[in-house]
Amino acid sequence: MVKVALSGACGHVGTVLRRELPKHGIDLRSSVGLEPAPALHAGEDLTHGDLRDAAAVDALLEGVDVLIHMAGTSIERPLQEIIDNNLIALHAVYEGARRNGVKRVVFASSNHAFGMYGADVKLRSDAAYRPDGLYGLSKVWGEAMARMYWDKHGIEGICLRIGTTKDCPPEDFRQLSTWMGAKDLVALALRCIEAPVDFAVVWGISDNKRAYYDLSEGNRIGFAPQQNAEDFAPEILARPNRMNAVARSFQGGEFVTLDYTPPAQRPGAQRAG
């Protein structure tokens, strides 16, 4: 039986996977954060600790075949926090994967690595990165690290460009494009464990009518989402869209508005004036 480790098991995505994967026969070990957390069921295999610490990483990865790495900072935060959690800890995890002979790392990338594309653009999987902040920039680093560890060390890598994933329906206009339902999330994780690939990138969203991404091109792991945010569109469209004009214009939504320089205030505009 394949042994699977899950980091970030108490986050939005990790909580769903921690609860659901064992129901599909997955032998799961979960890292629940810096401190211990209550087990969800008798005999649950849990670890905790700082993933910048080699001992904590080894406790998670010993005897593991596949790591689903969901830990890290998942919102826009000061640079040092991003560096600590999304760069240094990620490198420590990959080095732990090397030490422990982990065959595959599934990396939680993000739609925010592409957030500066216009909301009217449909992206293919080979689109150039356009991060919308420090968080999105850290995911560019993470995808590059996954690629390097496959090319240089033979650790298989799947980068999940996750949209908006919570165990609830979409909540606003943007999520009609970025939402991934819990059923699709679990199906995606199972394909990541089972698919015969070496390196792949996958848009982590449901089969949304308004998707920012070209899902018609398929993906290398055979993930075929079944849910669709459009089922919730009438209720959402009946409410006011509270995003401002900048957030509505870009795929990254409100992340774009953080520390954003309006075009009229940029150096080129000032010189032209």
Q: Which residues are catalytic?
A: 135
> Is the CB of residue 114 less than 8 Å from the CB of residue 251?
yes
DSSP state of 11: S
Q: Which of 180, 190, 179, 183 is nearest to 222 (CA)?
A: 190
Amino acid letter at 231?
D
| 242 CB-near residues (< 8 Å, 6+ apart) | 172
202, β-bridge pairs: 160
Element (H, E) at 162: strand 156-162
Q: What are 21's two structure tokens?
A: 């994967």
Decide the pairing of beta strands 66-69 and 45-47: unpaired
> Is the CB of residue 193 less than 8 Å from the CB of residue 152?
no
Treating both helix axes as pointing N-terminal to C-terminal, what angle do 89-100 and 54-61 enclose, rounded to 10 degrees?
50
Q: What are 182's two structure tokens?
A: 């819990």
Q: CA 271 to CA 242: how far, in whole Å?
A: 34
